[in-house]
Amino acid sequence: MKILITGMTGFVGAAITKRLFNSRHELIGLVRNKEDLPLEVLDHCKIVVADISKSVPNIDCDLVIHTAATVSDKVLSVIMNRTNVDGTRRVLEATGNAKIIQLSSCAVYNLNEQRHHESEEIIPKLLTPYGRSKYLAEQIIKNEFSDRDALILRPRNLYGKGDRNTLARLFKIYKDGVIRVPGDLNVQASMCNIEFLTACIEQMIQEDFTGQQCYNVVDYTDYTLRDNITALMSNILQRPIEVKSLNENFVRIVAGLRTVLIPGNVFTQYTIDYITRDHLIASDKLKQDYPQLKSIAFDEYLPEYVQWINNIGVSKLVQQSDSRVVWM
């Protein structure tokens, strides 16, 4: 099978490529900059260079795994949609009748404290620009390409080896053994291990799916953010970590001002909601349709994750100085 992977240089695209690298499939990468790919990938895969926000050449493939996206809670909708909405349409138009695995996001769910299911009603105007763009991309598949076999996957809080962003965010709010956040981080959250996500994709390809389905993809464990964050940081730094609560209302006011006046702010309204409200995702449908899949719990994966971080170097990950970290 010829498999096109868009966004091959990103966290998710690279992880999928590594999972399928030694399979019987022929892999094709769609990237903006092939210099970010290691030599073994360049030798093994056909590479197409294109910016999906502008144009995509026709590509002969049997399956497209679409991961390329702009991911941010600070970018305006008009900019976000060029890649996440219009870019999705261009990719699908360029790939004939190929099957589709669309990497969406649980950001499509309206932010409330109920457990979210795939069948719930979504109110687009309540979403962040990123969440709305992923929802609109899903609608393109359902409405404009309804004749094509497609899986829409909604992961939540992806973490694991290859992630360039988590530590950078955590160290912005860390100093001298203390993490400073609005609230106390005692919120219930769903998360998704990157290796579980790629295992799901591999299994779905093997079973040769037909029709169109949507799945939440999260670890089969509910987490407390405080436990996971402090465990990760204390294992990296080899010291106890304290959480200090900031006044939520004050932080929201500052976040609102900074959104307009100061680029690069630590907290946005969305991140404040994220760390002060429960956000649990139901995985019942995935368990029912793919019972052979077993998820990886955060505490079980933690030693492997920390070892990878230490091998790369905390400073490199915090500074986000090397785009090829996703391959290390």
- % pLDDT > 90, the chain: 79
pLDDT tens digits, one per residue of 105-159: 999 998 777 899 999 999 999 898 999 999 999 999 999 999 999 999 999 999 9
| Exposure string over 218-256, b if 16+ CB within 10 A, otherwise e | bbeeebebbebbbebbebbeeeebebeeeeeeebbebbe
What tokens were used for 82? Answer: 């060029």
Assign 62 a pLDDT band (cuts: 50, 70, 90): very high
pLDDT tens digits, one per residue of 1-47: 999 999 999 999 999 999 999 999 999 999 999 999 999 999 999 99
What average pLDDT does the segment 267-288 reach? 90
CATH architecture of 2-164+190-222+280-298: 3-Layer(aba) Sandwich (3.40)
For residue 65, what are the CA distances in angstroms to 61, 102, 173, 292, 293?
10, 6, 34, 22, 19
pLDDT tens digits, one per residue of 237-257: 999 999 999 988 888 887 777
What average pLDDT does the segment 260-271 reach? 66
Residue 103's SS3 state is strand
Residue 274: is its pLDDT beyond 90? no
CA–CA–CA angle 73, 79, 83 (5° rounding): 95
For residue 99, what are the CA distances in angstroms to 90, 105, 204, 217?
15, 19, 12, 19
Amino acid residing at 1: M
More confidently predicted of 79 and 233 = 233
Residue 234: is its pLDDT beyond 70? yes
Assign 179 a pLDDT band (cuts: 50, 70, 90): very high
In whole angstroms, give the CA distance from residue 299 to residue 167.
17
Assign 262 a pLDDT band (cuts: 50, 70, 90): very low
In whole angstroms, give the CA distance from residue 242 to residue 288.
40
Assign 301 a pLDDT band (cuts: 50, 70, 90): very high
- Domain segments of the chain: what residues? 2-164+190-222+280-298
Residue 65's pLDDT is: 98
Q: Is the pTM of this model over 0.75?
A: yes
What tokens were used for 316? Answer: 């490199």
Assign 322 a pLDDT band (cuts: 50, 70, 90): confident
